[in-house]
C-alpha cells in the first residue's frame, strides 16, 4: 500500500522544494536539494545545497537547527531527494540524519542512479529510522531535469533556444537579424543561460556573431538579480563545435576568463593553445556513426547536467534530426519577415508530414512584447 | 466632470454586455447590443438584439419587463450602445424608452457614426430623461470591432487566419499539408468563421483545396453548439477573389445554398451564372492603384462588418503589405517542418528589418495541442 501523506506533509515538502530551487544557478553538477526539519508541527531547521563542494541540504538544515538552539531528536526531515549514502566530498547525509537522531525522513524521490537507489533510505531503516518516499515526486523531478537525465542515461538534458518572427524567420535574406526579440526576452535568455551547466554553440555562430556566450549579470532579469548576487555568478562552460579549427584566437569567447571547450577531431597546435588557460580541447574520433550523440555522451561524462544550445538553423536542424533535443525554447517576436527571410531550422531529410518531429507544449508566457513557448519532445508510440 | 459610476452600475452593464454577445453569430450587419432594466436595485427586464430585422435590445428588454408584469416607469436602462434615434426597419429605441417612461439611461458608448453620435441621448434629454455615457466603454468597443470599424471608416475589420508549424511552415515542399493543426483548432476556426460577416479567399485556394468555406454546425466547439442551435445558423457570405475567372462551376462553394460573391474586373458569361442563384458578381474597375483597398471599400458598402480571411501565402502577404489586416490569428501546431517546407506569407518587397510590420499580442490560448495567438496591428509613431 502506498504511503499516505497529509496535507501538512505536502506543505513542508513544498517549502523544501522552494528552498531547493535557490540553488538552481550554482549546484551543477550536483542536484538542487532542499531540507526542512519539523518538530511538533514547527519548522526547527532548514537548508539547501548551495554549490558543489559545499555541504548538502540535510547538513545545512541540521546546522541551522543547531544555530537556532533547537533539538532535532525525534524531528521529521523533509528532503527533496533521498539522502546520499556514499562518502564523497562530504560524509553521507543519511549518516548525518542518523547521528542527529531524527525520528522520520520523508523524501520526494529515490536516488536517480539505479545502482544506489534506495541505499540512503535503507541505511536509515537499518538505524531504526522510519522513512517514506514519493511525496511531490513530479515537482522534485521537474527541478532537476538535467541531473536526473544524466544519472539515468549518461546524457545531458538538452534545451534548444530558438528566436524567431511570427512567421518562423530568424533574419532577413541579407542576414540582418540584430535584436529580433525585445530586451525582456534577451534578459530571459540570460537567465536560462545562467541555469545551464554549459552553453553549446558552433564555430559558424562564433564566426558570424562573435558572441561572448557568458552571463552578463547586469542583463539578468531583476527578479534573478535579487536572488543571485553578482559576486556569486557561475559562468557556464562554453562548448563550441569547431571541427575545422575555424574559431580564431581573437574570438570574444576567449576574452572572458571562464572555461571554453573546443570540440573537434584533432588537436590544435601549441601556438594557438598556450596562451589560453581556460581552453580545453575535446577530441572525438573521426568517422563516427553518430558524432552528435558521441558529443553528448562526452559532455555527460564531463558532468554536464543541462546543455543550453544557441546556434544557427543548420546545427539546430542537425540536433533535431539526431533526436537529441529534450526541450525547445521558442521566443516569438511580434513581427512578420516574409518567406524570403531565413528559416528557423534546416531539416533536409524531412519530406513527409508524418515524419515531422512532434512536440508537446509545456508552457507559454508573454515576455515583454514577445511570446515564449516551451515544448518537450513528444515520442509517438510507434517510435 | 466625468460621470461617476457605482460598482453596481458596472455590474449591471457587465450583465448587459454578456447578453449582447449572445448575438455574436447572428446580428451582422447590426451590432451586438444588450439592455438591462433595473428598478430599486432589481433587474425587472432584459434583452439583446438577436438578428438583423428583429427588434433591438431595448425593445426586447421592455417586452421582457412587460411579460414579467413589471412597471418600467422610473427604471434605469443599461444599454451597451447609445439607443438609436432614427426610423429604420424598427422605430427608434430612444423613443421606445421615452414612451416607457424610464427614469434614466446609461450607455457604454455613443453611436459610432460621428454624424449621429449623441442624437439618441439628446432625444432622451429633450424628453427630460437623465442619461450618462462611457460605462465599460472599452468592453463595449471590443464586442463590436467590425461594426464600429465599418461605421467609422467604411471598411470591414479584417482578420487573417494563419495556421503553421512551430517553424512557420504551412505545408511540406511537396504541398502536403492536410491537418497540420488538431481537431480542436479546426473547431475553433469554425467558431471564428461563424462570427464573421464574410469569409474571404482566392481562386488559388479554391483550385488547390476546393473548400466549402461554410459553417459546419457539427464541427463547431461544444460550447458554441450549446448556445447556437443548428436551425439558427447563419452562413457568412463567401467572397472569392477570382480576377481571371478560374473558379469552376463545379466548385464546392457553389454546392452550399448560401451567398458567394465572386470578385473580378469583368462579368462572366450567362452560361456560368444562370444556374447559380446564390452567386453575386462584384466587378471592380481595372488598373486601380490599390485594388485590395477598393475591394475592402466595396465590402464595407455591402455591409460586411468583419471579414475572416483564409488564403495562401501570396494573398496573405499582399493583404499585409497593403496594411489591410486588423488582426492576425495564428494557430501554431507542435511540429517542425524544416526550412524546405512552404512559408507562411510572401512579403517580396520587405528587405529591411526596420520595415517589418509590427504587431501587438492580444491573447494567447492553448487549444488542444496547438497554440492560438491573436495579434492586432501595431502602428509605429513614425507611420
Residue numbers in A near B366 (CB within 8 A):
361, 364
Query: Which residue in chain B is spatially nearest to A378 when comparing CA positions?
Result: B334
Q: Are B143 and B17 within 8 A, CB to CB? A: yes
Residues B133-162 have a mean pLDDT of: 97
Which overall architecture, per CATH, does domain B154-377 show? 3-Layer(aba) Sandwich (3.40)
Distance between CA B89 and CA A173 in Å, rounded? 56
Give the residue numbers of the binding site of A for Zn(2+): 56, 84, 93
Among B80, B96, B95, which residue's Cα sits nearest to residue B34?
B80
Q: Above 60 in pLDDT, residue B113?
A: yes
Q: Is the dihedral of CA A177, A239, A145, A289 positive or negative?
A: positive
Contact between B168 and A164 using a beta-carbon 8 Å cutoff: yes
Distance between CA A10 and CA A5 in Å, rounded? 7
Distance between CA A155 and CA B301 in Å, rounded? 64
Phi, psi of A245 (to 5 degrees): 55, 45
H-run or E-run covering A47: strand A42-48
Which one of the listed residues A58, A82, A192, A327 is annotated catalytic? A58
Half-sphere exposure of B273 (CA within 13 A, CB side): 13
**Residue A382: per-residue pLDDT:** 44
Q: Which range, of A282-296, B43-57, B81-95, averages the lowest pLDDT?
A: B81-95
Of A344, A347, A378, the CB nearest to B168: A344
More confident residue, B118 or A150: A150
Q: Which of helix, strand or coil describes residue A299?
A: helix
Residues B219-246 have a mean pLDDT of: 96
Q: Which class for B15: exposed (0-12), middle (13-18), buried (19 or more C-beta within 10 A)?
A: middle
Q: How far is A124 from chain B (nearest CA, A)?
A: 45
Ordered per-residue pLDDT tens for chain A, 383 residues = 567 899 999 999 999 999 999 999 999 999 999 999 999 999 999 999 999 889 999 999 999 999 999 999 999 999 999 998 877 777 788 889 999 999 999 999 999 987 778 889 999 999 999 999 999 999 999 999 999 999 999 999 999 999 999 999 998 888 887 778 999 999 999 999 999 999 999 999 999 999 999 999 999 999 999 999 999 999 999 999 999 999 999 999 999 999 999 999 999 988 898 989 999 999 999 888 899 999 999 999 999 999 999 999 999 999 999 999 999 999 999 999 999 999 999 999 898 888 888 999 999 999 999 999 999 987 654 44
| pLDDT, tens digit (0-9, with 9 covering 90-100), for B240-293 | 999 999 999 999 999 999 999 999 999 998 889 888 999 999 999 988 889 999
Residue numbers in A near B373 (CB within 8 A):
166, 332, 371
What letter would DSSP give residue A245?
-
| pLDDT, tens digit (0-9, with 9 covering 90-100), for A282-300 | 999 988 889 999 999 999 9
Q: How far is A344 from chain B (nearest CA, A)?
A: 6
Q: Are A164 and A344 within 8 A, CB to CB? A: yes
Half-sphere exposure of A128 (CA within 13 A, CB side): 4
First-to-last alpha carbon distance for chain A, in angstroms, is: 34
Contact between B339 and A313 using a beta-carbon 8 Å cutoff: yes
DSSP per-residue string spanning A143-162: TTHHHHHHHHHSS-EEEEEE
Distance between CA B170 and CA B163 in Å, rounded? 7
Interface contacts A/B by beta carbons within 8 Å:
164
H-run or E-run covering A184: helix A183-195
What residues contact A382, with CB distance under 8 A and at least 6 apart?
none
Residue numbers in B near A351 (CB within 8 A):
172-174
Residue numbers in B near A317 (CB within 8 A):
338-339
What is the average pLDDT score of chain B?
Answer: 93
Q: Where are the alpha helices (DSSP H) in chain B?
A: 7-20, 57-67, 93-99, 119-126, 137-142, 145-153, 183-195, 203-209, 222-225, 270-273, 291-301, 313-321
Beta strands in A166-243 (DSSP E): 169-171, 198-202, 237-241
Q: Which residues pair with A374 in a beta bridge?
A: A329, A363
Q: Is B58 a catalytic residue?
A: yes
Cα A104 versus chain centre, distance: 31
**Residue A89: per-residue pLDDT:** 72
**Residue A116: per-residue pLDDT:** 78
What's the angle, vertex CA A222, arms to CA A217 and CA A226, rounded to 5? 80
What's the angle, vertex CA B59, arms to CA B53 and CA B60, rounded to 5? 85
Contact between A345 and B338 using a beta-carbon 8 Å cutoff: yes
| pLDDT, tens digit (0-9, with 9 covering 90-100), for B10-44 | 999 999 999 999 999 999 999 999 999 999 999 99
Question: Under CATH, what is the fold of the domain A7-143?
Answer: Cytidine Deaminase; domain 2 (3.40.140)
Q: Are B327 and B159 within 8 A, CB to CB? A: yes
Half-sphere exposure of A352 (CA within 13 A, CB side): 2
Give the residue numbers of the binding site of A for substrate: 177, 193, 213, 216, 310
Q: How far is B316 from chain A (nearest CA, A)?
A: 10
**Residue B383: per-residue pLDDT:** 40
Q: Which of helix, strand or coil describes residue A307?
A: strand
Query: What percentage of chain B exceeds 70 in pLDDT?
Result: 98
Of B167, B357, B378, the CB nearest to A168: B167
Report the residue count for chain B.
Answer: 383
Residue of A315, A322, A338, A371 for testing the chain B interface, max B β-carbons within 10 Å? A338
Query: Which residue in chain A is spatially nearest to B317 when comparing CA positions?
Result: A338
Q: Which three cell numbers stand for residue A122?
A: 535503507
**Residue A333: per-residue pLDDT:** 96
Residue numbers in A near B169 (CB within 8 A):
168
**Domain range list for chain A:** 7-143, 154-377
Among B100, B28, B24, B108, which residue's Cα sits nearest to residue B59?
B100
Of B164, B166, B361, the CB nearest to A330: B166
Q: Are A162 and A344 within 8 A, CB to CB? A: yes
Query: Which residue in chain A is spatially nearest to B341 when comparing CA positions?
Result: A351
Q: Which three cell numbers stand for residue B308?
A: 475572416
Q: Which of helix, strand or coil describes residue B279?
A: strand
Contact between A166 and B359 using a beta-carbon 8 Å cutoff: yes
pTM of the model: 0.92
What letter would DSSP give residue B71?
-
Amino acid at each position: 500500500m502506498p504511503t499516505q501523506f497529509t496535507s501538512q506533509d505536502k506543505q513542508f515538502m513544498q517549502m523544501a522544494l522552494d528552498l531547493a530551487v535557490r540553488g538552481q544557478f550554482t549546484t551543477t553538477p550536483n542536484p538542487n536539494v532542499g531540507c526542512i526539519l519539523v518538530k511538533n508541527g514547527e519548522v526547527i531547521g532548514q537548508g539547501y545545497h548551495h554549490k558543489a563542494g559545499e555541504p548538502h541540504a540535510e547538513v545545512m538544515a541540521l546546522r541551522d537547527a543547531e544555530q537556532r538552539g533547537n533539538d532535532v531528536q525525534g524531528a521529521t526531515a523533509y528532503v527533496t531527494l533521498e539522502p546520499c549514502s556514499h562518502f564523497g566530498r562530504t560524509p553521507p547525509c543519511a549518516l548525518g540524519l542518523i547521528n542527529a537522531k531524527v525520528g522520520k525522513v520523508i523524501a520526494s524521490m529515490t536516488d536517480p542512479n539505479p545502482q544506489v537507489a534506495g541505499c540512503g533510505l535503507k541505511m536509515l531503516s537499518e538505524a531504526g529510522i522510519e522513512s517514506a518516499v514519493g511525496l511531490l515526486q513530479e515537482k522534485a523531478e521537474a527541478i532537476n531535469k538535467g541531473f536526473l537525465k544524466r544519472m539515468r542515461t549518461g546524457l545531458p538534458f538538452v534545451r534548444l533556444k530558438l528566436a524567431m518572427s511570427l512567421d518562423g524567420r530568424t533574419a532577413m535574406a541579407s542576414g540582418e537579424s540584430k535584436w529580433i526579440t525585445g530586451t525582456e526576452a534577451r534578459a530571459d535568455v540570460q537567465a536560462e543561460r545562467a541555469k545551464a551547466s554549459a552553453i553549446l554553440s558552433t564555430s559558424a555562430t562564433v564566426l558570424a556573431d562573435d558572441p561572448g556566450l557568458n552571463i552578463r549579470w547586469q542583463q539578468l532579469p531583476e527578479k534573478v538579480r535579487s536572488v543571485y548576487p553578482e559576486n556569486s555568478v557561475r559562468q557556464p562552460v562554453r562548448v563550441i563545435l569547431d571541427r575545422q579549427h575555424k574559431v580564431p584566437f581573437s574570438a570574444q569567447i576567449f576574452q572572458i576568463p571562464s572555461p571554453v571547450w573546443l570540440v573537434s577531431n584533432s588537436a590544435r597546435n601549441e601556438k594557438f593553445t598556450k596562451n589560453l588557460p581556460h581552453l580545453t580541447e575535446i577530441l572525438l574520433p573521426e568517422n563516427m556513426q553518430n558524432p552528435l550523440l558521441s558529443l553528448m555522451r562526452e559532455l555527460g561524462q564531463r558532468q554536464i547536467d543541462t546543455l543550453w544550445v544557441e546556434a544557427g538553423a543548420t546545427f539546430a536542424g542537425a540536433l533535431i534530426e539526431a533526436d537529441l533535443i529534450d526541450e525547445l525554447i521558442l521566443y516569438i517576436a511580434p513581427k512578420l519577415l516574409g518567406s524570403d527571410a531565413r528559416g528557423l531550422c534546416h531539416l533536409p531529410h524531412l519530406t513527409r508530414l508524418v515524419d515531422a518531429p512532434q512536440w508537446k507544449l509545456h508552457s507559454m508566457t508573454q515576455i515583454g512584447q514577445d511570446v515564449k513557448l516551451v515544448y518537450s519532445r513528444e515520442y509517438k508510440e510507434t517510435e
